[in-house]
Amino acid sequence: MEERQYDVIIIGCGLAGIYCALNLEKSLKVALVSEGSIKDTNSYLAQGGIAAAITAKDSWQWHFEDTMSCGHYKSNPQMLKTLTQNAPEEIHNLESLGVVFDHNEDHSYMLGMEGAHRLPRILRIGDYTGKAIMESLWRVVQTRTNIQVITDFFAYEVTTDGMGDSSVTGICNEDLATIYASNIVYATGGMGHLFNRTSNGKTINGDGVSMAIKQGIHTRHLPWIQFHPTVFYNTSGAQEGFLISEAVRGDSAMLLNEKGERFMRNYHPLLELAPRDVVSSAILTELSKQSSPHVWLDVRHIGSRRMKMRFPTIYRYCKEKGLNLDLDLIPVAPGAHYSMGGIAVDSVGKTNVDHVYAVGECSSTEVHGKNRLASNSLLEALVFSKITAKEISRMKPIHEKVIQVHSPISKQIPHYEVELKALSIWMDENMGIVKNYPEIARMKKVIQAMIDEPVEFVQINIEDIKCNNALIVMNEMLDQALQEKEDD
């Protein structure tokens, strides 16, 4: 067992994790640990961009109001004010770190339109905004001598005494490793892969939220999952969870049902640019009336030339699937996309346990309310991870102190005869856009009984940890869903 001491351990290398690392005082010794590479993060996959009231025609107050209304007025107003007021500054910060957003010929920002925004305010880099930002910031991370990157570190247990002695234990290159720090930051991403149909990367299955629950950290709003309306529906093979960005609808793409009708006319005055939850549930209604399991996205009037220029990743993907975008329609259906809930944090990212923080999608800052406004997620990752970094940086570095070795960590874990795939299909069917509460209540009892009385224990391994994590997060999510229903 290896032992190392840091000031801060950040678990997760998505945008929130790396931006937090970059904004920590350079005198602090930081470990950035992650299960996979930056390419496995949702941030890297993000096609659409970052919303910011960056021009004189816009205002942070409008951005605030659009977010509030899209989220059903469930956002925390103070946090949302912080988010929207800080947006332009974070855009400029990214630029100073080497990020180049799309510009018009007159050098003004080329701003995109997305659902429920009152005007175009999305800064983008083609349809690979996340990839471009992550690659720029990753280059900066590699120049920072105080940040040690440890990839292939699958964290599974965090311990803390609440006074600055904490540890993260994980499986690192098939060995167990424990690293120690004064402060722990969860930046572990969302929970999309608890669902079968999802736009999320394969490592995004709530492992961090589960670790936090095991550590006694409070979570909230776990059932508030956003379903993206237009995940590519592969009509002839496995579902790969490829997203057709909302930006394409912002560029005038239309949704058609099996009969070729532009059905959004029957649901919302903003048509395809209605809030995401409205569009996704409209699609679900259409699917219930037709035999085909998908609807169509029509970009024929946009044309393949413009699609190739504005959305090269999507253009390439569709081409690989044999679609000619001048002639063919794109098959799409909703999929789990974003977790509005997560680890409960205060205005500086603190959890209920001292010296433990959470940033990015795994955290619940309550800025998004019940339905996130498009392109506010990378923004949240930037604004709040920086605030958390500043908060941690106020503390004195203590990495020179002698470490306390914690009590031995169990190497045996429960093994359940459960298939994650089957669970994720159950989630689609019962915890999706429409919730089946009697079935949720039944499943909650089944999972609780499994957790309470494991019948078999095995040597620790990633597969079983992932299964345990999924059961723990689902158990909590189902519990919160039933509680919400009761409070309604």
Task: List active site positions.
Answer: 276
Q: Which is nearer to ligand SIN, 148 or 252 (CB)?
A: 252
Residues in contact with ligand SIN, shown as a per-residue x/- string from 38 to 67 under the rule CB under 6 A: --------xxx-------------------
Stretch that binds ligand SIN, among 6-14, 206-214, 244-252, 290-298 (CB under 6 A): 244-252
Q: Which is nearer to ligand SIN, 34 or 375 (CB)?
A: 375
CA 161 and chain centroid, separation: 29
Residues in binding contact with ligand SIN, number by CB under 6 A: 11
Q: Which is nearer to ligand SIN, 14 or 170 (CB)?
A: 14
Q: What is the DSSP string of 292-361?
A: SS-EEEE-TTTHHHHHHHH-HHHHHHHHHTT--TTTPPEEEEEEEEEES-EEE--TTSB-SSTTEEE-GG
Q: In 3D, which of 239, 374, 372, 226 has the Cα closest to residue 294?
A: 239
User: Measured between alpha carbons, how far is 178 from 144 in angstroms, rounded to an integer?
Assistant: 23
User: Measured between alpha carbons, how far is 127 from 253 in angstroms, rounded to an integer?
Assistant: 15
Question: Encoding tokens for residue 403?
Answer: 């470490």
* The binder of ligand SIN chosen from 246, 361, 428, 476 (CB under 6 A): 246
Q: In 3D, which of 292, 314, 320, 294 has the Cα closest to residue 302?
A: 314
Which residues, 19 to 38, sit near ligand SIN by CB under 6 A? Answer: none
User: Measured between alpha carbons, how far is 302 from 406 in angstroms, rounded to an integer?
Assistant: 60
Minimum distance from residue 182 beta carbon to ligand SIN (Å): 34
Minimum distance from residue 464 beta carbon to ligand SIN (Å): 32
Q: Which residue has the tokens 């880099």?
A: 125
User: Could you tell me which residues come within 8 angstroms of residue 407 by beta carbon, excluding any fewer than 6 positions away?
Assistant: none
Minimum distance from residue 295 beta carbon to ligand SIN (Å): 16
Question: Encoding tokens for residue 323?
Answer: 């679609």
Stretch that binds ligand SIN, among 97-105, 370-378, 397-405, 454-462 (CB under 6 A): 370-378
Which residues, 164 to 223, sit near ligand SIN by CB under 6 A? Answer: none
The three-state secondary structure class of 459 is strand
Minimum distance from residue 42 beta carbon to ligand SIN (Å): 9
Q: Which residue has the tokens 């709003």?
A: 221
Rg (CA), the chain: 22
CA 313 and chain centroid, separation: 20
Stretch that binds ligand SIN, among 7-15, 177-185, 190-198, 369-377 (CB under 6 A): 369-377
Q: Is residue 247 close enough to count as binding ligand SIN by CB under 6 A?
A: yes
Q: In 3D, which of 172, 208, 206 has the Cα closest to residue 477?
A: 206
Cβ 246 vs Cβ 114: under 8 Å: yes
Minimum distance from residue 246 beta carbon to ligand SIN (Å): 3
Q: Which is nearer to ligand SIN, 208 or 335 (CB)?
A: 335
Minimum distance from residue 243 beta carbon to ligand SIN (Å): 6
The three-state secondary structure class of 226 is strand
Minimum distance from residue 460 beta carbon to ligand SIN (Å): 35
Q: Which is nearer to ligand SIN, 368 or 444 (CB)?
A: 368
Which residues, 302 to 341, sit near ligand SIN by CB under 6 A? Answer: 338
Q: Which is nearer to ligand SIN, 170 or 206 (CB)?
A: 206
Q: Across-strand partners of 298?
A: 254
Minimum distance from residue 39 beta carbon to ligand SIN (Å): 17
Q: In 3D, which of 238, 362, 230, 364 has the Cα closest to residue 298?
A: 230
Stretch that binds ligand SIN, among 91-99, 171-179, 242-250, 262-270 (CB under 6 A): 242-250
Number of residues assigned to the chain: 488
The residue at minimum Cβ distance from ligand SIN is 48
Q: Which is nearer to ligand SIN, 222 or 247 (CB)?
A: 247
Q: Which is nearer to ligand SIN, 179 or 381 (CB)?
A: 381
Q: Is residue 377 close enough to count as binding ligand SIN by CB under 6 A?
A: yes
User: CA angle 462-468-471, nearest 5°?
Assistant: 140
- Interface residue list for ligand SIN (CB under 6 A): 46-48, 243, 245-247, 338, 374-375, 377
